Amino acid sequence: MPFTVSRLSLSGLLLFEPHHFQDERGWFAEQYRHSDFVRAGGMEQFVQDNVSFSVHGVIRGLHYQVDPAEQAKLVAVLEGEVYDVAVDLRIGSSTYLQWTSVLLSAERGSLLYIPAGFAHGFAVVSETAVISYKCSAEYEPACERGIRWDDPTLGIEWPVTSPIVSPKDRELPLVAELLHGKQPVSEDPADLELPSVPDPSIGAGSPSSYRSSEPYSLPNATSRLGGSP
């Protein structure tokens, strides 16, 4: 398998770390192989690829789509570094409204799999960043939804000061304003013995707490991080 696959703290989230093969020319790595993705627990066929470019301090999110166009995503960073966040919106889930974060970088090449039923967002912590992500459903404006990035119920501690946020994202509703029942519970599709992630760039949080593996600092960013669940 050309990847190391790890489960994160919220059921269904997977981190794929590709193996790099190096020689005097540079390196080569497989970014995606469907058979390994399915073996690890991913069930979707991806039908749309998106790419975005953002400058330091940008926060995009928190975005998701509802039925009949719910989206699972596979997120990678092609340039720079981002603080990537997933929020569990699955009604009935034991981690409902909890969130987790991963530091994704082009240098490391990790990919984050986010199943349907999660909201997704990221903050750019490098000078610039190019983010690529696969989607299991095409963009459908009628099914587009979102939650405010600074929702106090979630309490996400974004590692940027004076964030750059679009007018559209600033006007997204708070969790308290949402009508529930639109996000089905998406059970973890596989019960594999995968290792937990010891990476200090990975954190987890809930409406009342935020915790990560150990304190770390990000370039050109302000961060206040505590200890792992």
pLDDT range class, residue 184, cuts 50, 70, 90:
very low
DSSP β-bridge partners for residue 10: none
Q: How much is the pLDDT for 4?
A: 80
Q: How far apart are CA 177 and CA 33, in angstroms?
A: 40
Choosing from 63, 113, 120, 210, which is the catalytic residue?
63
Higher pLDDT among residues 203 and 19, named by residue: 19
pLDDT range class, residue 80, cuts 50, 70, 90:
very high
Q: How much is the pLDDT for 28?
A: 79
Do 148 and 172 touch, CB atoms closer than 8 A? yes
23-32, 34-43, 111-120, 159-168: range with lowest mean pLDDT: 34-43
Q: How far apart are CA 126 and CA 50, in angstroms?
A: 20
5-14, 25-34, 81-90, 99-108: range with lowest mean pLDDT: 25-34
Statement: residue 35 has pLDDT above 60: yes
DSSP β-bridge partners for residue 128: 55
Higher pLDDT among residues 24 and 30, named by residue: 24
Q: Can you name the CATH fold of 45-107+115-182+192-206? A: Jelly Rolls (2.60.120)
Averaged pLDDT of the chain: 78
Assess whether 133 carries a catalytic annotation.
yes
The secondary structure of 108-169 as a DSSP string is: T--EEEE-TTEEEEEEE-SSEEEEEEEESS---GGGEEE--TT-TTT----S-SS-B--HHH
Please give the sequence-ordered ranges of beta strands (E in DSSP) within 2-68, or none if there are none.
3-7, 14-18, 21-23, 26-28, 48-55, 59-65
Choosing from 64, 83, 96, 133, which is the catalytic residue?
133
pLDDT range class, residue 1, cuts 50, 70, 90:
low
pLDDT range class, residue 177, cuts 50, 70, 90:
confident
